[in-house]
Each structure stands twice: as structure tokens, then as C-alpha cells.
Amino acid sequence: MKLLELVRGLQGISLEKGGEEEVSGIAYDSRRVERGDLFVAVRGSRTDGHLFLAQAVERGASALVVSSDWQFGGGELSEVAVVRSTDTRLALAQLSDRFHGHPSGRLSLVGVTGTNGKTTTAHLVEAASAHCGLTCGLVGTVSYCVAGREVPATRTTPESADLQAMLAEMVRAGCEVASMEVSSHALSLRRVDGCDFAVAVFTNLSQDHLDFHADMEDYYRSKERLFTSPTQGGLGARAAAVNRQLQEMNLVAAGLAHETKNPLNIIRTTAQLLCQNPTLPEEIRTRARQIIEEADRVTAQLNEFINYSRPREVRRGTVALSRVLEELRRTLSHDLEDKQIQFRCSDGLPAIEADEQLLRQALFNLLLNAIQAVPAGGQIEVAAVRTGPSQVALEVRDNGPGVPPEHRSEIFKPYFTTHPKGTGLGLAVVRQIVLAHGWDIEYVPNQPQGAIFRIFPVRVVSMAA
């Protein structure tokens, strides 16, 4: 990932020098820096990372993150990129979260804090998850456990960079839940900033650990943080944030539609009168026809925008995928037959937890894009790939030209289109629906050619449906 992408828009961070560097890892201990790493200088209770900048650069760090007030002495600056941060601990957490693709948003993260009973509770969560058939990772005082593999622990809560790497490993290993002990030290040292907690558990608060916290009030504040951090609430909070944004946009859209409806109507009706008047010269009637077309195009665009900005309220239910896809096949049968497209659904599609209407709309948009993309006689396939005992990734695959690398970061943005008549809102709507469900969507190239749009992690209600 490029440094510029990694730091863009983060709170309290500014790029001082460079930006094009490829960052291959994040380090906060200069002895563990590897070539291409981004080194974040953190002030600890025993030592200060800023004193080891030269060592980090010597070991191959491509960029440094330093405190806003840090003054460079000399030599170490020349070759590397420099980022300033008002709080390098927060920066370490945010950068690690982004570098690893926000892993805590891809599973249900349960955080357990309190003076006593954290370990027991975290283990109970793990056991309860296993009992429900969910794969659960554990971050505890005694050990970390990533999908059955144990790693001895050194701290109650690992440093944010290690924690994010661990969560990412859990996601890759197919964990659907992660149960984590969160000490008050970790909270006040910003080790879990950037973590999206689906559930926060508070066992109790008693006079303990006060060697570190200034007083009881401070201790309470650090505990409170787990419950009040902006990302707290996990996937639900993310969906709520998307909806809040949409509500505002929808008001704008409604205003725009209201303001343009009458003038557009007047223009269109007048043009129609001109068009239908045989006494007028052909040139004027052609112009009038163009005006009608343009008015219709604007109306269609506005409707698309209003649809795009509609808040997505997810009403969860059990959806039999095979039935929904059969209905979509019928709706799209003309287009499929026109191009002689082979449309296949993999066998044994599960029943999943989703909002049926929204899911149908998302799949419709994806299928329509695939139909547009494939050549005559092409193939489109929908499959559910198992990624855990009770979760799947939904894939819509085609054998069209695929999306070229330079467009891959653009296609989900509103109004990006490569079709002359496209509005470019199809995938933006899909993305909203996906986020409202707490899922994610990604584009992956198909083999030997074509596109795969993958939606995950989707909860399975029953396998055979």
C-alpha cells in the first residue's frame, strides 16, 4: 500500500515529505524494522521511539511517523518519507487498522474489560461461540489463539500494530468472532483504537491497577472508552453511520427533484408541441426531439440519484438464495436470451440472513453489469463459497473482459462509468446495500478472464435450501 493511501484523511496526521513509498509493514520497535516498513515512534514509559529513528532508517524503514513537536537532529531525515502526528500512539493504531484492511469490522469483536473476571469471561465467550458453531479467535492474558493455533502472550492486550495483525490473521483463518481481554492500560494507551467492537462487556470496577492510572476517575474514564469510542457498536454502528449520511443526501435529492420537476415538465411539453407541429422546419423539430431526450435523461438520472440516496433500513429475515436467483433469472430472461448467455447457480445454495428486497436489488445490479460485460454466448455464475462453519461469501462471476487495474479503486464510487449511457450508480447502490448489512464487497479478477464480485461474510441460516 502506498504511504499516501495509508495516511489519507486520518485524524491528527499530516504528510510532511514523500507519499509515493510502498509500505510493506508497520513497526514500532526499531529492532524489528524490516525493509520497506513504516516506523512509528512511540513514547513509552521506559523509552522513547524517537531516539531510535536513525536505527529504524538503517534497517530499511521507508517512512517515519513522528510527533508534531519532534525536531530532527540531522542525518536520519535525508532518504525517507516523514509523517507528523499529534498522537503517535493513536497514529499507530489507526495506521495498523487501515494497513490490515480494518479486520475488526470483518468479524464480531467482543471486548471484555473490568478489574476481575476478564480471562474467564473471554474464555466463556469463546466456548459459547464454539457451541453455536462459530469459529472464534481469542486474545487473552495467557495466550492468543488464532483458529486453534496458540501463541504465548506477553501483554494483557498486545500493542495495536500486533493486535491488528492478529485480527487480520483471524479473519484470514475464517474466524467469525474474536473474544478479547481489554485491560484499562490498553484502553488508555490507545491499543484498541480503530477496533470496531460488536459487543463490549464490563465485568466490574474495583480499586486495583492504580499504580498506573492517576486516580479512580481516570481509571473509570479509560474503561468507559470501550463503550463510547466512535466505532463502538461494530457493524451496526457502521451501517447507522452510512444511513445518517444517506438521510441527509436524500433530503438534498428530494429538494433537487422538487425544484427541477416543474421546469423539466414545461421544457419537455413545449418541445413535444414543437416536435409534433408539421408546419415547422425539420431542423427545429430535430432539436426539439433532442431536448425531449435530454429531459428524459435528466429525469432518469435524478431518479437514480434519489434511489442511490435512499437510507437502507435492513429488515433481516431468512432468504433462500436459490429462489431469489430463480426469480432474477426470470426477470432478466430477455437480456440473457438476447445474448445467449449461460447463467448458472452453484448447487446447494444456502438460506442466508439478509433483507430480501435489498439483496435482490444488489444481485440484480451485479447481474445486469455481468450481462453487459460478457460477449454473446458468455457465462455468468453465482456461487456461495464457504468461509466458516456458518458463513459464506457470495460470488457473482462472469467471463467478460474484467475490470482493468486502474479502474478497480473507482468502480464502487458513485458516477463512475465506462458505458456511454451508464449512470455509474449501479455498484454504488450495491455497496450501500452491502454495508447496511454489515458485509463488505470486493472485486477480484476471474480466471482465465472476467470479473468476480464477492460479498462477505454472509451469515448462513441453513446450508441446504
Residue with cell 444488489: 362
Binding to ligand ATP by CB under 6 A, coded x per residue (else -) over 329-368, reads ------------------------------------x---
Number of residues that bind Mg ion (CB under 5 A): 2
Selected from 243, 423, 432, 446, the binder of ligand ATP by CB under 6 A is 423
Is 158 a binding residue for Mg ion by CB under 5 A? The answer is no
Closest chain position to ligand ATP (CB): 426
Q: Which of 81, 45, 82 minimizes the C-alpha distance to 66?
A: 82
Establish if 424 lies at the interface with Mg ion (CB under 5 A): no
d(CA 206, CA 422): 61
Question: Which residue number, 198 or 430, has a Cβ lying nearer to ligand ATP?
Answer: 430
State the Cα–Cα distance between residues 154 and 142, nearest whole angstrom: 8
In terms of CB distance, is 41 or 366 closer to ligand ATP? Answer: 366
User: Per the omega criterion (within 30 degrees of 0), is the bond before 457 cis?
Assistant: yes
Q: Least distance from C-beta 238 to ligand ATP, angstroms?
A: 21
Please report whether residue 398 would count as binding ligand ATP according to CB under 6 A.
yes
Please identify, using beta-carbon distances, which residue of 62 and 423 lies nearer to ligand ATP: 423
The reply to whether 394 sits near ligand ATP by the rule CB under 6 A is: no
**Binding of residue 121 to Mg ion (CB under 5 A):** no
By the 10 Å C-beta count (0-12 exposed, 13-18 middle, 19+ buried), 26 is classed as: buried
The grid coordinates of residue 126 equal: 469463546
Question: Is residue 422 within the footprint of ligand ATP (CB under 6 A)?
Answer: yes
Number of shown-chain residues binding ligand ATP (CB under 6 A): 22
- Residue 319 φ then ψ, to 5°: -120, 120
Distance (Å, rounded) from C-alpha 3 to C-alpha 82?
10
Work out whether 432 is an interface residue with Mg ion (CB under 5 A): no
Contact between 426 and Mg ion by CB under 5 A: the answer reads yes
- Sequential DSSP letters for 374-442: SPTT-EEEEEEEEEETTEEEEEEEE-S----GGGTTTTTSTT--SSTT--S-HHHHHHHHHHHTT-EEE
Stretch near Mg ion under the rule CB under 5 A, chosen from 160-168, 175-183, 275-283, 368-376:
368-376
State yes or no: residue 403 binds ligand ATP (CB under 6 A).
yes
Q: What span, in angstroms and rounded, lies between the C-alpha atoms of 223 and 228?
A: 9
What span, in angstroms and rounded, lies between the C-alpha atoms of 204 and 110? 16
Rule CB under 5 A: say whether 369 interacts with Mg ion: yes
Where along the sequence are the contacts to ligand ATP (CB under 6 A)?
365, 369-370, 373, 398, 400-403, 411, 416-419, 422-428, 451
